[in-house]
């Protein structure tokens, strides 16, 4: 079993401060405790819990948004050929569909283009620009890409094509200054106030800005597109705080009864139709199926799913995406198996803080998922490279405390290209540079990461007494949804409980089922992936539990369950 560190978010909040904050905001103390421990002041509780559209910032305060809106407005009015240039992941797919639908509704002469993951790779490429110019393109608008495309933008401008960049990725030292507008909340010179928007969040704000300059009802535009914006925001794993929290909350409410035929049909094949739609159900049921289009086929299929008004066509696409997702899963399992074989064959593996693996023929649309699984398994950053004709296309995932984008920047001389975030990035490299790259990025990691950084941890919100272990407490905590990065499901600790029953369940006994008791209060527990503890804990034993509240619903009846995050022996 992997022993985890328990890290308390804040153990200095006094009980009297919790009581005062709870009374001030008329909320249960358990919610006040979580919010205070997460650094949210009592005066900010109302806004956090309300998730009001009033907290959405004026899009025009984002740098260059006014230029972008005016240039697009001009193109719409003059019937200039507009091309929306997107990306093949869910963030790019939703960004493309959202902006295309809006501009189409204005009568714009607009098409969209998403590069092929395998043949073209991420971002703008000159071959695509040439192709689109032959189709009469006068304005190129990027969504979820473009912030590093300096040469490509300069090329487009030389060909008399105007360019509006909208992106959310980390900026390098230079941005594409030749563009008519560069909208990215991560620009160092932008004081917008929130740089955590997904690509679809930036596209969403662009639509709101366009509605303002064109005299449309901005509130109506928000309601019309917050469902698509929510899906992309959740899928891109950006922090669910600030504006993202409002977008996702309102979007999830819209998705309870989806208005788009494609989503109605996709929910059916994903098995979530008619159920409460949460950030988790979007992340694990909807996003993988939409992502499968860009990974194994063409992302245009997923864009069409969001745009079609034809229910029969929507059902066809949903089934196609479901089948592609199953194929993706099989491909992923094979790559994962081969990656583990490479790790087992590396005698120096334990000395490396960064895992770098490369193999001919790995599907570059799937390696990012496998990199994520390996990062989770070994709790160290992982980069997988798919080799073809002497060139590697890579995808990397990281852990808290190690900024992968910064690390790649340090190795820039060995890469053909790279981009991304602190925790996820893509890169290109010549095969003969892989060994040098592996050494250099590991040398960089040796100077940054400690052994402590490579031990997985559980963030604990607060310790609870047994009188807080109740269905009422679980219902109260649900007010903190939607959950995601930056607003994770709260984890609580209850100490010194007696184990009444314990058993391993699931395939190969991978999971753990327990019943616990303390001072007459009992609770059922489930521990996914914790089945091995059945060999260490006996009925009558005493343990400390880290857990999340869970509510089971069966035939209309609700019951409390504790979902275990970790166990420590007393």
Q: Residue 248 corresponds to which tokens in the numbers above?
A: 């996702």
Query: How sure is the predictor about 120, in pLDDT bands with cuts at 50, 70 and 90?
Result: confident
Query: Quick check: helix, strand or coil at residue 190?
Result: coil
Cβ–Cβ < 8 Å for 43, 495: no
pLDDT of residue 517: 97
The answer to whether 63 and 197 have CB atoms below 8 angstroms apart is no
CB atoms inside a 10 Å sphere around CB 50: 12
The predicted structure's pLDDT at residue 420: 80
- The per-residue pLDDT for 173 is 86
Tokens for 228?
Answer: 């698509």
Distant-in-sequence, close-in-space partners of 154: CB < 8 Å, separation ≥ 6: 176, 178
What b/e string do you get for 519-534 counting C-beta neighbours within 10 Å, with b at 16 or more?
Answer: eeeebbbbbeebbebb
Per-residue model confidence as pLDDT tens digits over 33-54: 999 999 999 999 998 999 999 9
pLDDT of residue 1: 64
Mean per-residue pLDDT of the chain? 94
CA distances 529 to 4, 260, 557, Å, are 14, 37, 27
Give the residue among 61, 56, 62, 55 at the shortest CA–CA distance from 185.
62
Record the pTM: 0.89
Predicted confidence (pLDDT) at residue 190 exceeds the cutoff of 80: yes
389-448: pLDDT as tens digits: 999 999 999 998 899 999 999 999 999 989 888 888 999 999 999 999 999 999 999 999
- Residue 532: pLDDT band (50, 70, 90) is very high
Collect all residues with Cβ–Cβ distance below 8 Å to 105 and sequence separation of at least 6. Answer: none
Q: 287-296 and 261-270 helices cross at what angle (nearest 10)?
A: 100
pLDDT tens for each residue of 255-264: 999 999 999 9
Q: From the centroid of its chain, how far is CA 493?
A: 27
pLDDT tens sequence across 491-526:
999 999 999 999 999 988 999 999 999 999 999 999
Where helices occur in 111-217 by DSSP H, the ranges are: 126-134, 150-158, 199-213
């Amino acid at each position: 079993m992997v022993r985890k560190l328990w890290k308390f978010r804040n153990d200095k909040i006094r009980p009297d401060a919790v009581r005062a904050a709870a009374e001030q905001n008329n909320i249960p103390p358990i919610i006040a405790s979580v919010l205070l421990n997460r650094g949210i002041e009592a005066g900010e509780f109302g806004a956090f819990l309300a998730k009001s559209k009033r907290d959405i910032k004026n899009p025009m305060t984002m740098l260059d948004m006014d230029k972008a809106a005016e240039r697009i407005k001009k193109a719409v009015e003059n019937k200039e050929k507009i091309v929306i240039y997107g990306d093949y992941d869910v963030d790019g797919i939703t960004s493309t569909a959202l902006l295309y639908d809006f501009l189409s509704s204005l009568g714009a002469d607009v098409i969209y283009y998403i590069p092929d993951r395998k043949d073209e790779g991420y971002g703008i490429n000159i071959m695509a620009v040439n192709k689109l110019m032959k189709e009469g393109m006068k304005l190129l608008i990027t969504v979820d890409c473009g912030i590093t495309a300096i040469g490509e933008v300069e090329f487009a401008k030389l060909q008399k094509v105007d360019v509006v960049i909208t992106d959310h990725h980390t900026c390098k030292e230079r941005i594409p200054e030749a563009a008519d507008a560069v909208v990215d909340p991560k620009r160092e010179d932008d004081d917008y106030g929130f740089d955590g928007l997904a690509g679809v969040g930036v596209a969403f704000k662009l639509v709101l800005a366009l509605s303002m300059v064109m005299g449309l009802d901005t509130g109506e535009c928000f309601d019309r597109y917050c469902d698509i914006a929510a899906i992309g925001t959740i899928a891109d794993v950006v922090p669910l705080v600030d504006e993202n929290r409002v977008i996702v909350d309102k979007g999830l409410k819209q998705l309870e009864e989806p208005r788009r035929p494609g989503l109605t049909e996709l929910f059916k094949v994903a098995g979530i139709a008619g159920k409460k739609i949460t950030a988790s159900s979007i992340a694990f049921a909807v996003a993988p199926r939409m992502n499968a289009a860009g990974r194994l086929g063409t992302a245009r299929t997923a864009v069409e799913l969001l745009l079609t008004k034809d229910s029969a066509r929507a059902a066809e696409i949903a089934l196609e995406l479901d089948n592609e997702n199953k194929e993706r899963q099989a491909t992923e399992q094979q790559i994962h198996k081969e990656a583990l074989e490479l790790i087992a064959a590396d005698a120096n593996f334990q000395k490396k803080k960064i895992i770098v693996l490369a193999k001919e023929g790995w599907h570059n649309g799937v390696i990012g998922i496998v990199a994520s699984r390996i990062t989770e398994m070994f709790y160290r950053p992982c980069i997988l490279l798919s080799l073809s004709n002497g060139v590697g296309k890579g995808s990397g995932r990281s852990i808290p405390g190690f900024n992968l984008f910064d690390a790649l920047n340090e190795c820039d001389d060995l890469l053909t290209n790279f981009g991304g975030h602190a925790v996820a990035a893509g890169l290109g490299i010549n095969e003969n540079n892989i060994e040098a790259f592996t050494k250099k990025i590991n040398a960089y990691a040796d100077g940054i990461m400690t052994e402590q950084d490579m031990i997985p941890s559980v963030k604990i919100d607060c310790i609870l007494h047994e009188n807080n272990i109740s269905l009422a407490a679980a219902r109260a905590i649900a007010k903190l949804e939607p959950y995601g990065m930056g607003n994770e499901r709260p984890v609580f600790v209850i100490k010194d409980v007696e184990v009444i029953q314990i058993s391993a369940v699931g395939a190969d006994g991978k999971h753990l089922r327990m019943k616990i008791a303390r001072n007459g209060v009992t609770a059922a527990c489930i521990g996914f992936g914790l089945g091995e503890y059945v060999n260490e804990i006996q009925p009558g034993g005493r343990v400390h539990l880290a857990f999340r509240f869970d509510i089971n619903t069966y035939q209309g009846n609700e019951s409390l369950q504790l979902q275990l995050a970790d166990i420590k022996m007393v």
